[in-house]
Amino acid sequence: MSQGGYRRPHRWAWWMERPGYMRFMIRELTSFFMAGYLVVFLVTLSRVGAGDAAFAEWVGALSRPGWVAAHVVALLAAVWHAITFFGAVPQAMPIFLGEKRLSAPIAMIVMGYGPWLTVSAVVVWWMLR
Amino acid sequence: MSSSGSDGRRGGRRARHSGEAFWWALFSAGGVMAALFVPAFVVVTGVLLPAGDPAVAAARAEAFGQAVGWWPVKIALLGVIVLSLFHCAHRIRHTLMDFGLRRYSGLLKVPCYGGALAASLWAALVLRGNTGLV
Amino acid sequence: MSKERASASAGRVGSGEQVAGSPVATDERTITLELFRYHPETDAEPRFQSYEVPYNEDWVVLDAINWIKDHVDGTVTHRWSCRMGVCGSCGMMVNGEPVLTCAAFLKSYFPFAVRVEPLVNFPVERDLVVSMDGFMDKLEAVKPYMIRDDVNDTSGGEFRQSPAELAKYKQFSMCINCMLCYAACPVVGHEEGFLGPAALALGHRYNKDSRDHGRSERMDVMLSDEAMWGCTFVGECSVVCPKHVDPAGAIQQAKAMGAQEYFKAFVMPKGAGA
Ligand code: SF4
Ligand code: FES
């Protein structure tokens, strides 16, 4: 298989070339923030077991502006992850009713946003009730 | 004769060697878990727990402690956390590959999946009630 | 505005005289085309060459390139055939965007210059023509044909299929092999072994065909580490596809199918089930 001819140089800054690439990059970066959050979440869970005083101290630390800002960023990342993930559902998991394909918005609601809202409500209720 | 096709296309199976399929499956399942649960977790532990006046915060802290102390919840939490960790690990690895480290795709498994594994073990210990690590 | 309309109608009158490949100019205005030039026997490096082309609202970029070749510079080399978006041979980068040049109207760029380059992520053979060899190999790799266990046995008549079964893969069968998706995919540019959007969508098309028995064979190819798992669902392949094939969706579906096959292999070791 001859693959002769002129090869254009690698484009290292490829992700800046199209708006779609930038959106892709932002979506991928959510994983860094979510990974960071999960570690902090584990610290929180471990403080629960360390006794009321230790937990209260940790929660007090979490209310400092730096931690609040970090959590706002984490929240944006997690929400963006959810939106992009459910946005991909109609493409990745098409559902056919006979010859007809379930429309994208309905697929997203049924397999994405609906369960998401339900789970979120249950989690918040259960954890703080 | 009939099962091998007319031109022997069925012969000479190429060896499948895709650990990638395994990691992708974890990534995919973890993506669902992270999308469903992590935003709510952040709201609870990052916003609602620390917010409000001390009395409210204390009540919430107690409720949180009880809510995550029940063993079925612990098991569910462990599942969600582990899968989400591997989702992040896989995506971080592939992001690094897309940004120029593709030739180290094998090597990158060590810090990425290794990190997720370490954090998963830690999560298991934490949820077992072993808090000595932090 | 009225001048625009006048020139548009002049264009329509003029278009009656057009001959395929040799469109006739009908407007005094001009537009600049900057063509990527590379002749391997004389050029060590590619260069850009500018041409003033008569501006006609009805023209597409391909018309302008044909006009240059016919009236100014016969050495310009490019591919085209159908001029109606079905043959898939006229794909190029126009102002950085992979498009079918027969479907890209000058109108949408005028009065600015139009920069035309060969599709990125492919080796350039000459001017605007890229090498398709690697692409053809990738298409072939996914065995894009019906594989039957009973290929010699047609005694039962034709292999029937219901409209519902057809619907499952029809979208993926609309590909015209224009390779725009390969030019839009960063992974194609970085990973030699990645089969790429069109080939994977085509493989998936056959895997989803109720008449086909070749899924396991194709999966032998698609499950290798480089073939499809390098896809990170950037998704731009589906954005640029002129036929709405949605190769990005096909690849995610193929991955899910591949992961199933992978886990099935644990339960049912290779050979036992085939
Ligand atoms: S999938 Fe679309 S963009 Fe890609 S080669 Fe086929 S028709 Fe062209
Ligand atoms: S010339 Fe056939 S698709 Fe453009």
To the nearest whole number, what is the mean pLDDT of chain A?
A: 92
Which of C111, C130, C149 marks a domain boundary? C130
Query: C156 lies in a domain?
Result: yes
Chain A hits for C244, Cβ within 8 Å? none
Taking an 8 Å cut-off on Cβ atoms, the answer to whether B63 and A56 are in contact is no
A16-33 pLDDT, tens digit per residue, is 999 999 999 999 999 999
Confidence band, pLDDT 50/70/90 cuts, at residue B55:
confident
Q: What is the pLDDT of residue A5?
A: 85
Q: 3-class DSSP state for residue A97?
A: strand
**Bigger pLDDT: B30 vs C8:** B30
Query: Which DSSP string do the residues of chain C spell out, in sequence order?
Result: -HHHHHHHHHHHHHHTT-BTTBPPP--S-EEEEEEEE--TTT-SS-EEEEEEEE--TT-BHHHHHHHHHHHT-TT-------SSSSS---EEEETTEEEETTS-BGGGTTTS-EEEEPPTTS-EEETTEEP-HHHHHHHHHT--S---TTTT--TT-S----HHHHHTTGGGG------HHHHH-HHHHH-TT---HHHHHHHHHHHT-TT---HHHHHHHHTSTTTTTT-----HHHHH-TT---HHHHHHHHHHHHHHHHHHHHHS-TTT--
C77 and C117, same structural domain?
yes
- Whether residue C274 lies inside any domain: the answer is no
Report if residue C111 sits inside a domain. yes
Q: Stretch A85-95: mean pLDDT, rounded?
A: 95
Does B47 fall in a domain? yes
**C231 Cβ closer than 6 Å to some ligand 2 atom:** no
B66 within a domain of the structure (yes/no):
yes
Domain of C98, CATH number, reads: 3.10.20.30
Q: At C245, which CATH number?
A: 1.10.1060.10
Q: How many domains does chain C have?
A: 2
For C88-117, how does the pLDDT look when each residue is reduced to its tens digit (9 = 90+)? 999 999 999 999 999 999 999 999 999 999
Q: Which of A46, A59, A85 sits opposite B134 (nearest CB)?
A: A46
Residue A50 confidence (pLDDT): 84
**Domain span including residue C108:** 3-130
Is residue B50 included in any domain, yes or no? yes
User: Is residue C272, in this structure, part of any structural domain at all?
Assistant: no
pLDDT value at residue C194: 95
Pick the atom of ligand 1 nearest to C201's CA: 1
Residue B110 lies in a domain: yes
Question: Of C105, C130, C155, which residue sits at a domain end?
Answer: C130
Which residues of A fall within a CB distance of 8 Å from C249?
A: 90-92, 94
- Residue C3: band (very low, low, confident or very high) from pLDDT cuts 50, 70, 90: very low
Query: For the residues C155-175, what does the mean pLDDT come to?
Result: 93
Which residues of B fall within a CB distance of 8 Å from C269?
none
> Residue A123 pLDDT more than 60?
yes
Q: Which domain holds residue B53?
A: 20-129
> A12-92: what fold?
3 helical TM bundles of succinate and fumarate reductases (1.20.1300)
Provide the CATH number for the domain around residue B119: 1.20.1300.10
Ligand in closest contact with the CA of C179:
1
User: pLDDT, tens digit, for every residue of C110-151?
Assistant: 999 999 999 999 999 999 999 999 999 999 999 999 998 876
CA distances from C48 to C78, C93, C118, C239 (A): 15, 13, 12, 27
Contact (Cβ atoms closer than 8 angstroms) between residue C257 and residue C207:
yes
Residues C14 and C119 in one domain: yes
| pLDDT of C159 | 86
Chains that touch A (3 or more CB pairs under 8 A): B, C
Tell me if A75 and B43 make a contact (CB, 8 A cut-off). Answer: yes
Residue B1 placed within a domain: no
Specify whether C262 is located in the same domain as C140. yes
Q: Are residues C157 and C240 in the same domain?
A: yes
| pLDDT at residue C13, as a whole number | 38
pLDDT greater than 70 at residue C247 = yes
C115 and C96 together in one domain: yes
Residues in chain C with CB shorter than 8 Å from the CB of A11 are 120, 189
Question: pLDDT value at position B4?
Answer: 35
- Reported as a single tens digit per residue, the pLDDT across B75-121 is 999 999 999 999 999 999 999 998 888 888 888 998 999 999 999 99
Q: Cα distance from B46 to chain A (closest Cα, Å)?
A: 5
B17 pLDDT higher than 70:
no
According to the per-residue pLDDT averaged within each range, which of B56-70, C49-63, C142-156 is highest? Answer: C49-63
Q: What is the pLDDT of residues C7-58, one digit of tens each?
A: 333 333 334 444 455 555 555 899 999 999 999 999 999 999 999 999 999 9
Write down which residue in C130, C147, C166 finishes a domain.
C130
Residue ranges of domains in chain A: 12-92, 95-129
Q: Is C229 on the interface with B (CB under 8 A)?
A: yes
Q: What ipTM did this prediction achieve?
A: 0.92
pLDDT at residue B16, rounded to an integer? 61
Same domain, residue pair C95 and C39: yes
Percent of chain C with pLDDT over 90: 77
Query: Within a domain: residue B77?
Result: yes
Nearest ligand 1 atom, CA C237: 3
Residue from C138, C179, C234 whose mutation best tests the ligand 1 pocket (most atoms within 8 A of CB): C179
Ligand nearest to the CA of C249: 1
Number of domains in chain B: 1
The answer as to whether B92 is a domain residue is yes
Q: How far is the CA of C122 from the centre of ligand 1 (A)?
A: 15
Segment A38-66 shows an average pLDDT of: 91
Percentage of chain A exceeding pLDDT 70: 97
Q: Are residues C65 and C146 in the same domain?
A: no
pLDDT of residue B25: 95
